[in-house]
Structures are given as structure tokens and as C-alpha cells.
Structure 1
Amino acid sequence: MRITLATIGSFHIFPLARELERLGVLERVYSGFPWSRLRREGVSRDKVRTFPFVRPFVMGLRLLPFDVPEVVADSIHEFSLVTLDHFVARSLPDGDVYVGHEGAGLVSGAEAQRRGMLYVCDRGCTHMAWREELLQAEHDRLGLPPRRRPNTYEREIEEYDRADLIVVPSEFARASFIEKGVSEDKLAVVPYGVDLQRFHPVGRPADVGFQIVFVGYLSVRKGAGDLLTAFKLANIPGKRLLLIGQIEPDVMMLYADLLNRDDVTTVGHVPNAMLKAHLGESHVFCLPSLEEGQALVVCEAMACGCAPVVTANTGATSIVHDGANGYVVPIRAPEDIAAHFERLAADRELRDRLGAAALASVRELGGWSAYGGGAVAAYRRALARRAAGRRTDSTPAPRENRVGVH
């Protein structure tokens, strides 16, 4: 079997590429990043093909001293996906399987199918339409302006239709596709791994105080309001909330009073070495997201021995078992989150037991090697179904025939 991958950045695709190369089945991996950003990923240089002419501009938008209008940022993002997609289509090597990361596989996927290859759409989140409906409902609930539909919306929906197989990281994500009418036979769940060399216990929490940590883009989608409200409600002497990552403007507007507290600290982006130290010194990790595919940071926190409090919508219920190695709460339930904070703050033995169980659970996953093996197994099953003539999905012609933003 020969497998080619494509992604606009690195994401989980490069850990997958590393494992596929180890298994001897990686033909090539494409990225919109320059090689200088990819050399640390552990994939041989001769296996990597880069198209670093647009994506760096997208990344550079974050460094500007002003906010770029959403419509501009989204258009540049879409253009980076479309141009990479066409570049891959023009230079795609022959093989058996082509895996296009969400948004970057429409034209290249069609080219792969024309050559008789299996086209796999790799989607890291829930179904695009399902996600947008959920987030729009949340915007309505919070009194925010209507969400602007991403430029890539129609493109991704067409990728789902065209693909021979759609791979998602959790049963939660899979259920969203089924709810939107995608055949179960077209879906495969392959949970992500975690790099246990990068993430492992470092230090331990202080004996005094109680630190809660959040990692990621603090946004409406990530349940920012529920986290901040739960922290306010929790009756814990010496409590602290550490926010690692950027903060969405809507969140800053809605929850300014909850963010501007003396016991809330924001530190922005931090490197992995510092991140694992922050996780190791925290008493509990919290991610109350409304929607994820499978949040990698949950496994990273668990690998550092930090007990998690998460929603089922993080896609982490295959690894976080309520009451055994963490807690799982419903979305929009800050009171439940606060109660778990108080329980953990009051019972060090419980906290230590859950943290140890969380670490053990992640170690049992097998790191990224299990993810690579699971992905290959899913591709083989799809190839076997096709060979046996059991595939019933139609293969529509792509509507997009030119490079550009539409």
C-alpha cells in the first residue's frame, strides 16, 4: 500500500505521516508550511512536498497589531486551501490511497479517484453543517450577531459527498455525520494519539491554593462563558484560573468582568516545554467545549497527570471516563463544573487518584503509533469494500474547476 497525505499545516497529519513512514507505506505528504516549520515533525525530507506561498500570510495575520476583518482573513484562508489543493492535484504521485485534510482535498481527491486511488477525507471536527447550526444557536442564545458562514462551507460539504471514506477522531464526530445523512459505511473513527515524549508529568501542584488550567483559543465554541462562570461560582479559597492561549474578541466583550479578576491569569501561547510545566503544576484541567472532533489538549493534560473536567462534546469520552479518570459534564452546565472543582479542591486523595488514572489511560492508548495503525486498518477495510463491489456511494464531478476564492 502507498499512501499520500495533504494538509494546509501540520496538525495530526504529520504525526500520521511519521507513523506511515515507519510502517513503510508513506509515499508523500504535502503541506502549506515551509520546511523550516516541518523539520521537527520527524518525517524524512524526501517524503515532504511543500507549497509555502500562501499559508505563511495566514499565519502572519496573527502578528499584526490590529484585528484583520473576518471576511478578509477567511478569504485568505480559503485561498491557501484552494491553491494547495490544485498544487497537489498537479503533482500527485500514483498510489493506493490519498488522504486530504478537510478543505484541501476536493480537486486533488477527484484526481486521485480518476487514477483509481481511494480518496479519504480527514475531518478533525464534527460535520460542518452540524457545527455551524450548533454555534449559530449559541450566538443567538448569547445575543451575538449572526455567525458568518465560513467560505469553505460548500467546499467541505462537497468533499464529504465525493470522498470514498471519511475519517473522524471520535464517536461524537461520527454521530454528527450520521445525523446529517452520511452513510455509516462511509465513516471510520480513528482516535488521536499523544506524544508521550513531549507530554509527561513535570513537577506537581502546590500544596496550597487550587489552580485550574485552560489551554486553547478561549472562544464561544470552547465554552468560555461556562468556564468563567464556573470559576466564579466555585467556593474555593485560594483558587486561580490560568488561561493559556488567545482570547476571542466576543469573549472579551461578553465576559470582561470575569476575565479582569485578580485570580485570573492569561499568558497567551506558550511552547510545549512550558505548557507541560503549567499542566503539571495545575490541580485540574477544564475544557467545556460546545464542539470539537477530539481535543488533543485533553490527552496532553492527562499525559501530564492533570485530571480533566470536560464536556462530552469535546469528543473525549472514549478516553475520559466520568468519575474514573476525570469528569464529563453536559454543555452549558457551569454549576456542574463548579461542583466538580469544589469536590476536587476539597479532596486531595481523589484528585491524586484521578490524575494517576488519567495518566495511565493515556499511556494505554499507545501514543501516535496506535493512531497510525488504526488509520491504515481503516484504509484497508475501505479498499477491500471497494474491491468487493460493496461501495454504493455515487462519485459526483467536482463543481470547482479553477483556482481562486469564490
Structure 2
Amino acid sequence: MRVLFSFPHALGAPGIGWTAWNQVDGLARLGHDVHVVAASIARPLPAGVRVTQTLTVRGRRIPHRLIGRDRAFAWHDHRAAQIAARGGFDVVHLWPTGPGRTAQAARERGIAVVREAPNTHTEYAWKVVADEVAALGLQGTVDTAHTANARRLEMERADWSRATAILAPSEFVARSFRDAGFDDDRVLRHQYGFRPGSRRARPRSEAAAALRAVYVGLGEPRKGLHYALDAWLRSDASREGTFTVIGRMLPAYEALLADRLAHPSVKVIGFSHQVEAALAASDVLLLPTIEEGSALVTYEAQAMGCVPLVSTASGALMDDGVQGLFHEPRDVDALLAHLDLLARDRSTLARMSAAAIDHVPALTWDAAAETLVGCYEAARDLATTKGAHAHAV
């Protein structure tokens, strides 16, 4: 397929830049013709991928803040729209955030447009996070990418209204868009993935041992670390086991959790590049997030045989009770029960750990690329049968 891939940030940078880079890399290795329009390129792309950099001058990146983020996004969207207007593409793949010119230009030429949804519907995400921040008494002290921004929402709506379909990496994300009024056929399920390293995964042993739990992610209310700590400190596992917390912490949130983080069974590491090693050394991953797209650490954990004990909002690609265990967001009692189960029943832990490792082929970026192409084909069919633009929502 001929794909125009628009990403208004540094492609290949940590975070969503890494996710988007792997999508492009996977498409290219499958033999698809990809033209990337990105603010800049932080990691080399495969040979044959055409690249247009919108915020790079003479090889030097121009920071978004230098010209203003909204202006930078608008300029990127303008440049991508010019390329889309030339035609010759089967699908245009958009990442947030732009004023909608690229989607409009593609629509006018009958080109299918898919819009990435790396998180739940924006208004849903903002409300959930705001409610959590308020419940914790952290208003005015916690400001994240999920803090309400009217201008951003306006740009999101411009893309959504012109897109043929939304790409949802998990059922939780898909449901948030359907609940917001999007037709079922406009919400296409794809997935993210992980990149295998050199470390060999080994299933956890059935032999009696203290449970080793790990949390990996930004320490913020949205990720639910406070729920993980509450469940852990109430569990039998905390008597002899360890709970390692990896990730940068927002200061006000860290202060709120200070007493819980100071428990002898809890080890706070902070930011680390050794995530794979930490997962390999742990029995279970705790991620009771309240809002998420599809957390890459849930893929990485399974690859290392670390059993995910995660919320349904985590976007984990697994079968409940097979590779891991799901609980509903904020359900501390359910997470506590899962911890106690695996702390006392090592045979169940060993079975789930082995199943997680066996699941690896379905979790790679290669598998994700195959799924993404299927979504492109569905969007192209939808554009043909219903017209390239969809109803505004």
C-alpha cells in the first residue's frame, strides 16, 4: 500500500515517537511504500522510506516551543496537507495533533484517512484524570499531558470529523470513542508491540518463594500507583516479598505517597534504562491505570515471563486468566486478591508466566504491522463505500 504517515513530533524519540517509529519500520519491512512527514527524525528509518521533516532546518531540529506548539502543529499539518493534495496514496495515517488540513486534503481526493488514538477519547481522558486528581486533593499541583486544553480539543475534533476511521489500540480505547458517538465501523482495532532483545525469558518456578512485584511507568495519578501500593501493602505478599517502583515521579504525587513508598517491602528506583532486566527479575507487573491507550510495558512484561496484574484500562493484549489477570480500574480488592492468589499459588504463577512467553509472537511489532495493514484495508473499503469523510463527532 502507498501510505502517507504524518507525525508532528520527533519520530523515534521516547514515548509515542518510539511507537510511531515502529509502525513505520514494520510497514517498510512488509514492503509497503511509506512517505513519512515528521517534525524531525530521531532514529534512522529503513532504506526506501521517503521523509519530509517539517521542523528541521539544515539538519538541525527546531523545538516546538521556539515558535509555539500550536503554530508548530499547524505548520506541520500545512506541509503534510500539501503532500496529501498531490494524491497517489491509498491511506493517510495521522497522529495527534493538527488542525485537520491534511485529513481534509486527503478526503477531497478520495483517500482513506485513519487517525491514531494513542489514548482514550480526549474528553473522557481529561475527565477521568481530573476526577482522580481531585479525589487525591492534588488540584493545582499536578499538570500532565492529560490536563484539559481547549485548543488541543479543537484540533482533535478537526481531525476526527474528517477521518474515515479511528485506530484504537485496545478495546478500552475503542469503547471510549463508541460511547462518544462514533459509529462502530469507524473504530478500527489494531495493536502496539515490543521489540525482542537478547535476554532469554524463563518461566517462573513453582518452588515456594517470596513474590517479586514491579511497577514501571510515570508516577502520576493517571497510572494508579497509589492503588498498586494500597493493594500491595494489604497483601500477604508484602510480608516477605518486594515491590519495585521504576519511573520518574511527579513531586506532589510522590509526596502524597511518601509513607507508602517508605514501607520496607517497597523499593523506589526512579527512572531506569534497565526495564527489561527489572521485568525479567520480577514475578508480576502491577499497573492499575485508570486511563491508557495500550501500555507497551504490558507487552514487554509478557515477553520476559512477568505476569501482568493490570486494569482493563491498561490496554494489555492478553487473555484474562491465561497470561495475566485483569481488574477494573480502582478495584483495589480485586488486585489484592490477585496478589494473594499468586503469592500462595506458585503453580498458577508458573503457568501464567509460561503462557505469557508463549504469547510473544502475537506481541511483536511485526504482528502489529500486519494488524495495521488490515486496518488500512478496512478504512480504504469504508472510504469507497461511504465516502472518504465521516460524520463529524
TM-score band, normalised by the shorter chain? 0.7 to 0.9
User: How do 1:6-405 and structure 2 match up within 5 A?
Assistant: 6-7=6-7, 8-9=9-10, 10-34=17-41, 37-39=42-44, 42-44=45-47, 46-53=49-56, 57=63, 77-92=69-84, 94=87, 95-104=89-98, 106-145=100-139, 148-150=147-149, 151-197=151-197, 201=201, 208-236=209-237, 237-271=239-273, 274-316=274-316, 319-363=317-361, 365=362, 367-389=364-386, 393-394=390-391
Q: Secondary structure at the match of 2:355?
A: helix
Residue-by-residue CA offset, 1:353-401 (whole Å, 9 max, x unaligned): 11111121233x16222222222222222222332346673479xxxxx
Cα distance in 1 for residues equivalent to 2:218 and 2:372: 28
Change (3 A) 1:354 1:202: closer
Kept in 1: contact 2:163–2:389 (CA 8 A)? no
Compare relative contact order (CA 8 Å, sep 6+) and give the higher one, 1 or 2: 2
Please state whether the residue corresponding to 1:144 is helix, strand or coil. coil
Q: CA 1:129 to 1:256, structure 2 compared with 1: closer, same or farther past 3 Å?
A: same
Distance change (3 Å), C-alpha of 1:226 and 1:76 = farther
Residue 402 of structure 1 corresponds to none
- CA distance in 2 between partners of 1:234 and 1:207 (Å): 17
**Does structure 1 conserve the Cα–Cα contact (< 8 Å) formed by 2:235 and 2:336?**
yes
Q: State the SS of the aligned residue for 1:11.
A: helix
Q: How much has 1:287 moved relative to structure 2? A: 0.6
CA distance 1:165–1:381, change in 2 (3 Å) = same
CA contact (8 A) 2:116 2:168 kept: yes
SS in structure 2 of the partner of residue 194 of structure 1: coil
Structure 1, 14-23 or 303-312: larger mean CA deviation: 14-23
Give, in whole Å, the separation in 2 of the partners of 1:305 and 1:25.
33
User: What CA distance in whole angstroms lies between the structure 2 residues aligned with 1:57 and 1:188?
Assistant: 33
State how far apart, in whole Å, the 1-side matches of 2:235 and 2:94 are: 44
Change in CA separation of 1:48 and 1:203 when aligned onto 2, cut-off 3 Å: farther
Does the 8 A contact of 1:168 with 1:188 survive in 2?
A: yes
- The RMSD of aligned alpha carbons is 2.9
- Name the CA distance, whole Å, in 2 between partners of 1:305 and 1:268: 23
Q: Deviations over 1:114-160 (max 9, x none)?
A: 34322211111111111112222222322332774134222112211
Describe the shift of the 1:12–1:358 C-alpha distance in structure 2 as closer, same or farther (beyond 3 A).
same
Report how many residues are paired: 373
Amino acid of the structure 1 residue aligned with 2:104: A
Deviations 1:76-130 (A, max 9, x none): 5545433432332344563221111121472222233334322211111111111
Confirm or deny: 8 A CA contact 1:239 1:263 kept in the other structure.
yes
Q: Cα distance, 1:168 vs. partner?
A: 1.0
Q: What amino acid is aligned across from residue 14 of structure 1 in structure 2?
A: W
**CA shift for structure 1 position 166:** 1.1
Contact 2:110/2:383 (<8 A) preserved: no
Cα separation, 2, equivalents of 1:56 and 1:281: 40
Aligned CA distance change for structure 1 residues 89 and 395 (closer, same or farther; 3 Å): same
Residues in 2 aligned to 1:145 and 1:2: alpha-carbon distance in whole angstroms: 46
Query: Cα 1:300–1:263, aligned 2, differ >3 Å: closer, same or farther?
Result: same
Cα distance change of structure 1 residues 104 and 359 upon mapping to structure 2, 3 Å threshold: farther
Cα distance, 1:226 vs. partner? 0.1
Amino acid aligned to 1:38: R
Measured in 2, the distance between the counterparts of 1:211 and 1:117 equals: 50
Inter-partner Cα distance in structure 2 for 1:208 and 1:117:
57
Query: Could you tell me whether the CA contact under 8 Å between 1:325 and 1:354 is conserved in 2?
Result: yes
Letter in 1 for 2:353: G
Distance 2:232 2:51 in 1: 45
Q: In structure 2, what is the Cα distance between the partners aligned to 1:27 and 1:340?
A: 44
Distance of 2:212 and 2:62 partners within structure 1: 36
Letter in 1 for 2:300: E
For 1:239 and 1:13, the matched residues in 2 are separated by 37
> Cα distance, 1:208 vs. partner?
4.9
In the superposition, relative to structure 1, how do residues 203 and 348 fare at CA in structure 2: closer, same or farther (>3 Å)?
closer
Query: When the two structures are superposed, what TM-score results if normalisation uses the length of structure 2?
Result: 0.85
Q: Please say if residues 6 and 105 of structure 1, whose CA atoms lie closer than 8 Å, have aligned partners that are also in contact.
A: no
The structure-2 alpha-carbon separation of the partners of 1:89 and 1:168, relative to structure 1 and needing over 3 Å to count, comes to same
Structure 1 spans left out of the alignment, 5+ residues: 59-71, 397-406
Q: Between the two proteins, what is the percent identity of the paired residues? A: 27
